[in-house]
Amino acid sequence: MWLAAESLNWALIAFTGLAGLFWLMSATAKVKAAGTDTGEFRIVMTEGPGSSFQADGIDVLATARLQAKWNMRAAGAACAAAICQAAIYCLPKLP
């Protein structure tokens, strides 16, 4: 029983660290727009197939997609950490 609790504690630490790392990656992720190294602030919007929204040389839509991927990974790691924490809580109550 002690080994199971200790293993779950280490898994909890790992998943919590991963969640923090993934959310940090999400917060700092940016996708540079192609051919926008003009050195000036610009906002560009295009319509139709392959539409894009660019601001200050950053492709806003592609950045949002990338951040959503990192957020999904972070939420999964946080969920795994919560499951480990619940298991640690319930472990002593098992017969």
Please give the chain's pLDDT, 95 residues, in tens: 778 888 999 999 999 999 999 999 999 999 888 766 656 667 777 777 777 788 888 888 889 999 999 999 999 999 999 999 999 998 888 77
Q: At what angle do helices 2-28 and 60-90 cross, to 10 degrees?
A: 170
CA 40: distance to chain centroid?
30
